[in-house]
Amino acid sequence: MSTPIVIDCDPGHDDAIAILLALASPEVELRGIVTVAGNQTVDKTTRNALKVLELGGRSDIPVVRGAVAPLKRTLRTAAHVHGESGLDGPDLPEPSTQLSDDDPAAWLEPGVVLVPTGPLTNVARLLEHGVRPDSIVWMGGAIAEGNITPAAEFNAFVDPEAAAIVFAGGVPLTMIGLDVTHKALFTRAHADRLRGTGRAGRVVAELSDFFQLFHERRYGMNGSPIHDALAVAHVIDPTLVTTLHTNVEIETSSEFCDGRTVVDRWQSTGRPANAYVGVDVDAELLRDLADEGGGPAFLRPWRCRRRGGRRLPVGLAADDDEDGSDRDDLSFLHQDAGHGSCCR
Ligand code: BDR
Ligand code: CA
C-alpha cells in the first residue's frame, strides 16, 4: 500500500529530485504540490515545480502557488546555491500546465503525510486555519550546524516565525535536518551513472552537476547532500533515518541565532517532546550500490527490475527476481504518462 503525500516545496535542485523520487516510488502517491517562496521567488519555484512534473510525465498532479513571502520577514533567497532560475543547470522547457484552483487543505485527508521541503510559511498558515495534517516530515533545521548562518539552516532561517508555529502545533512532526542530510551525499559517480539512462536521469545528473559545484567549493564536499530527497525517502522507508523524540524550540529574536532549531539532544530542559529529530542515517540502506549499478540506496526506485511483467525497485527486488538485470530509469514515466511509477 502506498502512502499518500503532499509536497510543499521551493524547487530548488534537491526539491526537484525529491519530486522525481516521489514520482518514481511505488511506496508513495503524490497527491499535489504547493509551492512557497524560498530558494527563489514563488513565481520561479512554481514554474520549476511545473517543469519537473512535466519532465516526469505527471502534469495531472495539481500544483497550487503558495506564499509569496515569509510571515513576518523579507524573503531571503538562495540564488547563490540554486541560481537565478532556482533550478539552474538543465535546460527544461517552459511549462504549459495551468495551476490548480484546488484548496490544498482538501488534499490533507486522514493518512496523508505532508512533506515540506522549504520554509514553513504555508504550513504555519494551514495550522492557523485549523487544518491538521496527520503527520509532517519536514526537511529543515539542524542540531549542530547552520548553512545560511553559523546557527541556522536555510528553511528554518527564511521563516522562523512559521517554524515556531509548526513546532508548537501539536501535529506529529519529523525533522530531517542537516545532521542527517550531510551524511547522504550524491556524488559525481552517482550522477555519471544516471546520465546515460534517459531524459529524467540526464536531468537529475545535470541538476546534481550544478548543485555539486556549490557544495564542493563552499564545503569541500565530495558530492552534494540532496536534502529534500531524504525527507521523501524517509516516508518511503521510515527505517532510513533514526530519530529522537525530543523538544525543539525555534529562535526568532536573536542577533546571531535567528532560525536556530534548538534541539534538546540530551533532554536536559524537561520541556515536552514535540518532534522526531533525525540523528542518524542507516549506513546499510545508504550504502553505495555500485555493484547494483545504482546510486545511494534511497534512489533505488529509479532503477527497477522486472518480475512477472511487474517491475520492482531494486531495493525491494530480492535475489529471487526472475530476469535479474533488466533495469530501467525514469524514462518509463514518459512512456507511461499519467500512470506514474513503473513499479505500481
Ligand atoms: C534546504 O535549503 C534549500 O536551499 C534546499 O532546497 C533545502 O530545502 C537545505 O538547507
Ligand atoms: Ca527546498
Instruction: For residue 15, give the ligand 1 atom closest to its CA.
Output: 6
Residue 65's H or E segment, with its range, is strand 63-65
How many angstroms does the Cα of residue 139 sit away from the middle of ligand 2? 8
How many Cα atoms are found within 13 Å in the side-chain-facing hemisphere of 300? 25
CA distance 175 to 94: 33
> What are 163-188's pLDDT values in tens digits?
999 999 999 999 999 999 998 888 88
> Is 261:248 a contact under the CB 8 Å cutoff?
yes
Residues whose beta carbon lies within 6 Å of some atom of ligand 1: 12, 14-15, 39, 78, 81, 117-118, 139, 147, 153-155, 227-228
* DSSP notation for 194-228: HHTS-HHHHHHHHHHHHHHHHHHHHH--SSEE-HH
Q: Is the pLDDT confidence value at 319 over 90?
A: no
Most confident of 39-53, 210-224, 301-315: 39-53
Tell which residue, 19, 277, 49, has the closest CA to residue 156: 277
**Whole-prediction pTM:** 0.87
Q: How many CB atoms lie within 10 A of CB 68?
A: 12
Q: How many CB atoms neighbour CB 99 within 10 A?
A: 14
- Residue 193's pLDDT band (cuts 50, 70, 90): confident
pLDDT at residue 284, as a whole number: 58
* Grid coordinates given for 232: 521523501
Spatial contact of 193 and 295, defined as CB atoms under 8 Å apart: yes
- Burial of 141 from C-beta contacts in 10 A (0-12 / 13-18 / 19+): buried
Collapsing DSSP to helix, strand or coil, 229 comes out as helix
Q: Given this model, what pLDDT does residue 289 score?
A: 31
Query: Span 298-310, mean pLDDT?
Result: 39
For residue 318, pLDDT beyond 90: no
Closest residue by Cα to atom 2, ligand 1, is 154
> Which amino acid is present at 35?
T
What phi and psi, each to the nearest 5 degrees, are found at residue 91?
-95, 95
pLDDT of 285 reads 62
pLDDT computed for residue 286 by the predictor: 57
Give me the pLDDT at residue 283, please. Answer: 60
Q: Measured between alpha carbons, how far is 144 from 132 in angstroms, rounded to an integer?
A: 29
Sequence-separated (6 or more) residues with CB below 8 Å from residue 321: 305, 306, 307, 312
**CA atoms 248, 249, 252, 255: torsion sign:** negative
Counting residues of the chain whose pLDDT is more than 90, the rounded percentage is: 68
Higher pLDDT, 296 or 119: 119
* pLDDT digits 0-9 by tens, 88-134: 999 999 999 999 999 999 999 999 999 999 999 999 999 999 999 99
Range of 108-112, 199-203, 311-315, 317-321 with top mean pLDDT: 108-112
- For residue 12, whether the previous peptide bond is cis, meaning omega lies within 30 degrees of 0, is yes
Residue 280 parent element (H or E): strand 275-281
- Ligand 2 centroid to 281 CA: how many Å? 19
Active site residue 182: no
CA of 19 to the centre of ligand 1 (A): 14
From residue 142, how far is each of 85, 87, 149, 196 by CA, in Å?
A: 26, 24, 12, 35
Minimum-distance ligand 1 atom for the alpha carbon of 181? 9
Position 282 scores a pLDDT of 78
Please report, as a single letter, which amino acid is at residue 297. A
- Mutational pocket test of ligand 1: of 8, 9, 10, 180, the residue with most ligand atoms within 8 Å of the beta carbon: 10
Q: pLDDT for 50-63, tens place per residue?
A: 999 999 889 999 99
Between 49-53, 86-90, 156-160, 290-294, the lowest mean confidence (pLDDT) is in 290-294
Average pLDDT, the chain: 84
Query: For residue 308, with 0-12 CB atoms within 10 Å meaning exposed, 13-18 middle and 19 or more buried, which class applies?
Result: exposed
| Residue tagged active-site, from 13, 82, 227, 234 | 227
Classify residue 222 by its DSSP letter. S
Mutate to test the pocket of ligand 1, among 9, 39, 179 (most ligand atoms within 8 A of CB): 39
Query: Measured from the CA of 78, which atom of ligand 1 is nearest?
Result: 4
pLDDT over 90 at 316, yes or no = no
- Go through 13-26 and write b for each residue having 16 or more CB atoms within 10 A of its CB, e for each that does not: bbbbbbbbbbbbbb
All domains of the chain in start order, with CATH: 3-320 (3.90.245.10)
In angstroms, the CA 278 to CA 234 distance is 10
Structure confidence by residue, pLDDT tens digits, 260-284: 999 999 999 999 999 999 999 876 5
Share of the chain above pLDDT 70, in %: 82
Give 10 Cα–ligand 2 centroid separation in angstroms.
5
